[in-house]
Amino acid sequence: MTNPIANLQRVSADYKTMDKKDKKRFWTDMILNNALYILMAIFIIYTAIEQPNFLTLGSFANLITQVAAYLPLALGIAGCIVLTGTDLSAGRVVGLTAAIAGVFMQKTDFANKMFANLPAINGWWIAATLLAVIAIGAVIGLVNGFFVAKFSLHPFIVTLSTQLITYGIILWFFALNGNNGQPISGLSAEYKNFVGGAMFRLGGVAVPRYVLYAVILTALMWFIWNKTTFGKNMFAVGSNAEAAKVSGVNVFLTTMLVHTLAGAMYGYAGFIEGVRAGSVAASTGLNAECDAIAACVIGGVSFVGGTGKISGIILGVFVLRIIFVALTMLGVDSSSLYIIKGAIILCACALDMRKYLVKK
């Protein structure tokens, strides 16, 4: 991976020395290992032919906006996958933090305001809300991490239960103050501008501020993963927890921190979700973790544990979004998209295992 050109030269030199059978295997390996990318390329070409406005700057702006919205979740969950776990509570945590941020950020003069006596919305109040929702996400992540690390419970079980508990809390929250489960709307202009205000326009489509925030978060995560002791410990625990323990890594603390960090990312994702959707309902964030997990697996954050790169996660989110943007533009309805999503996850896992086996 160090030098792509040298790599390509080496591969082509190898290819020349192969006999017929090996050549055939080389091509099947190549096609199968890149199956999802080939599929994406086919969809792009087909959509570009059918829908001329697919390959425009505006549609590209739409794509990076979507990627920026889905990236924080994937960055958070990737840490859990590196530890050979996962996090099923992500979507509901986004729902809860979106609801809380939404309530704090309702217009002061909005008729159906849930809590009437909140301070006027200014920069400090927005910053405080952002920190509060990140903290709430982090606390839920901490609970996940504690049970996973302390009792070696499988993350699937722990996060499934926190998912349900969080949903219960969401439903409680929506019933507060006689709100009776109504969606939270009437978000203030300051909040909308802080998250979704246009930075610049590409082909007539505004690129919102959260694209910039996503870039900052990605840089931060890259630093944490690659340049800190915590990041190195995370990969050590993921590839072999026993060996990491023997060599002096605090497995308990590392696991807790990974989940807490993931939770903080969901908190941030919740903060932007309300603006993105325009209002927050009890169903906000439903199944968001599926997209994030799929993106990670496509991007090579393996369930084998201890492997993964930030660049891979970005690539994974891009691939998934391109496929879905293309399919929506073609007019494939959302019920079929779920089946396609399921097939993509299964396919990505099979690819993940295949790469591991072939390498061995």
Partner 1 sequence: MEENRQNPNPEQEQLPKFRGLYRHVKISVKALDRIIVACIAVIVILVALELRDPGFTITFDSRGGSDVAPQNQMYGELLEQPEPPTREGYTFTGWYTDAACYELWDTQNKTIETDMTLYAGWEKLE
Of residues 282-321, which lie at the interface with partner 1 (CB under 8 A)? Answer: 302-306
Instruction: Give the nearest distance from C-beta 358 to partner 1 in angstroms.
Output: 7
Using CB under 8 A, which of 135, 157, 198, 350 touches partner 1? 350
Using CB under 8 A, which of 65, 86, 188, 218 touches partner 1? 86
* Distance of alpha carbon 288 from alpha carbon 261, whole angstroms: 17
Using CB under 8 A, which of 84, 144, 166, 218 touches partner 1? 84
Number of residues that bind partner 1 (CB under 8 A): 49
Of residues 39-58, which lie at the interface with partner 1 (CB under 8 A)? Answer: 39, 43, 51, 53
Near partner 1 by CB under 8 A, which window of 199-207, 253-261, 276-284, 309-317? 276-284
User: Of the two residues 136 and 249, which places its CB atom closer to partner 1 in the complex?
Assistant: 249
Instruction: Give the nearest distance from C-beta 34 to partner 1 in angstroms.
Output: 11
User: Of the two residues 219 and 340, which places its CB atom closer to partner 1 in the complex?
Assistant: 340
Of residues 87-116, which lie at the interface with partner 1 (CB under 8 A)? Answer: 112
User: Of the two residues 28 and 228, which places its CB atom closer to partner 1 in the complex?
Assistant: 28
In sequence order, the 6+-apart residues with CB closer than 8 A to the CB of 173 are 96, 99, 100
Using CB under 8 A, which of 185, 193, 197, 206 touches partner 1? 185
Instruction: Give the nearest distance from C-beta 32 to partner 1 in angstroms.
Output: 6
- Contact status: 354 vs partner 1 (CB under 8 A): yes
User: Would you call 106 exposed, middle or buried from its count of C-beta atoms within 10 A (0-12, 13-18, 19+)?
Assistant: buried
Closest by Cα among 345, 169, 158 to 255: 158
Question: The tokens of 241 are what?
Answer: 């927890």
- Contact status: 242 vs partner 1 (CB under 8 A): no
* Distance of alpha carbon 228 from alpha carbon 42, whole angstroms: 40
Using CB under 8 A, which of 48, 153, 251, 329 touches partner 1? 329
Near partner 1 by CB under 8 A, which window of 82-90, 144-152, 209-217, 252-260? 82-90
User: Of the two residues 202 and 329, which places its CB atom closer to partner 1 in the complex?
Assistant: 329
Using CB under 8 A, which of 74, 170, 281, 288 touches partner 1? 281
* Distance of alpha carbon 242 from alpha carbon 315, whole angstroms: 31
User: Of the two residues 86 and 162, which places its CB atom closer to partner 1 in the complex?
Assistant: 86
Phi–psi pair at 306, nearest 5 degrees: 75, 5
State the Rg of the chain over Cα. Answer: 22
User: Of the two residues 74 and 83, which places its CB atom closer to partner 1 in the complex?
Assistant: 83
The site for partner 1 (CB under 8 A) is made up of 28, 32, 35, 39, 43, 51, 53, 84-86, 112, 182-183, 185, 238-240, 278-279, 281, 302-306, 327-336, 339-340, 343-344, 346-347, 350-351, 353-354, 356-358, 360
